Structure 1
């Protein structure tokens, strides 16, 4: 612990700390069509992001709903080619190029690795700061499968994020909440911790765009909103047994665990705020949350 404290003090960005710690966020991502379809409400929300989250981060750590590994794994590469992990979309979607060339500041990654205290895979470490932070330029704020060898950038990470952290779907919500708690000191470094997944994620139940929301999806979405806004984080950690239609909303937990990490990283007394809410394809909730710790 002394080593962790020493590293944290040594690599602290003092000028940022004077302004306070970063909030954490959980963004629901949806159809890749957000890259080109101006009618999607969630896309319009992303374009107003800087009005909601005005502090520009030094770097971004995204917890991905599309990257599942046995142990927490960090991917930081100098360059990822674009890969297209979706099918049946307009041809223009496959012409979008999103080359990631920025990497996370080495010091932040080192601290992250020590804090995790697990086996962490780091592909490439270099010094760099994020130079732009404009979510209006992001196709959809979600994080997809950058593999352990950095084989490419899937559609979910077409953005200028600098570091990605995997989820472990063989673990539970409490595990990911505690993982977030371990990452919390990164907020003092000016790093935005962003969970990216889906508030409801049962692709087998999706309907044509504009379809009504079925009762089970609405009940789960409402339960989650109330639990978060009331600070009932322990209930959210055990959503699979305490939420109505928890298994229906998330037959597989990969897209929900990023919420637990963002929630844990903000702290037990953090206040949740619903920053966006919309539906698409009947069962796909775009509910997104911001977590702010007491000053």
Structure 2
């Protein structure tokens, strides 16, 4: 069995995923059971909802509070807690490792987990028994920077660190509807292009996805929810297995595709 841990890209979609698992919840639960068979020292999460202006931050708290960073949702969502333990010592190790690649990282001793982190984790690791660290995306970040960032993270996979990037396969909130039987016309062409590009591990094409992928700017009016997928791809090797977990489409505009880069069982 390879000691290198996989990289995950998870579509966290709407916060409603926390109480409406749909197809995605069971897929992530099954994946988590497989991952638990591997020796994991800590989980490193990169979420579209932890963006820091001009710098990179890393959580270093011993206990990570659950951040309910959304509004206008049912009250039961705000009662959910994911009682994750942090790993300050491992956070400092990651800080040093990234500094070797000229990425200056500051430690945050107070910040907890945003919904892009704790909602997937509640399905993957429901017992919250694996330490968690969250790494921010320094903003502004473009696709080339995301690729370089991902490449710098690759070495952590051999150090017992499970990398989870959390975003969304499509993320146009202006187009959200309520008929899940009728995904919008641009969803399938876009996700099919992404699937084929990932299958070929074509980072050059992905670097130019906004020009090459059909309806890219419609699927992602802004890039912060797609960059986590690019970071995950760049954290993988060209010859690695890539596995898709298809969670369907919710709210007509939110494709729930998830990807695993590398061996996971």
For the aligned pair, the TM-score class normalised by the smaller chain equals: 0.7 to 0.9
Question: After the TM superposition, which residues 210-229 of structure 1 pair with which residues of structure 2 at under 5 Å, given as runs?
Answer: 210-229=180-199
Alignment of 1:243-254 (within 5 A): 243-254=213-224
- Partner of 1:46 in structure 2? 28
More strand as a share of residues:
2
* Residue 254 of structure 1, CA deviation: 0.7
Match of 2:3 among 12, 20, 32: 20
TM-score (norm 1): 0.77
Task: State the Cα RMSD in Å.
Answer: 2.2
Deviation at 1:104, TM superposition (A): 4.9
What TM-score do you get using the length of structure 2 for normalisation? 0.85
Trace 1:137-176 onto structure 2 (pairs within 5 A): 150=111, 152-158=112-118, 159=121, 160=128, 162-176=132-146
Q: Is the 8 A contact 1:116 1:183 kept in 2?
A: no
Residue 74 of structure 1: aligned partner: 58
Q: Which residue in the other structure is 1:60 paired with?
A: 43
Q: Does the residue aligned with 1:46 lie in a helix, a strand or coil?
A: helix
After TM superposition, the structure 1 = structure 2 runs for residues 135-284 of structure 1, keeping only pairs within 5 Å, are 150=111, 152-158=112-118, 159=121, 160=128, 162-284=132-254
Tell whether 2:62 aligns with 1:102. no
- The whole-number CA distance in structure 2 between the counterparts of 1:204 and 1:56 is 42
Report how far residue 96 of structure 1 moved: 1.5
On the 8 A contact 1:200/1:250 being kept in 2, the answer is yes
> Separation in 2 of the partners of 1:240 and 1:287?
18
**What SS is found at the alignment partner of 1:274?**
strand
For 1:52 and 1:98, locate their aligned partners in 2 and report how far apart those are by CA, in whole Å: 20
Q: Secondary structure at the match of 2:260?
A: strand
Q: Does the C-alpha gap of structure 1 residues 231 and 81 become closer, same or farther in structure 2, counting only changes over 3 Å?
A: closer
Which structure has the bigger radius of gyration? 1
How many Å separate the matches in 2 of 1:104 and 1:202?
A: 36
The runs of 5 or more residues in structure 2 that have no matched partner are: 122-127
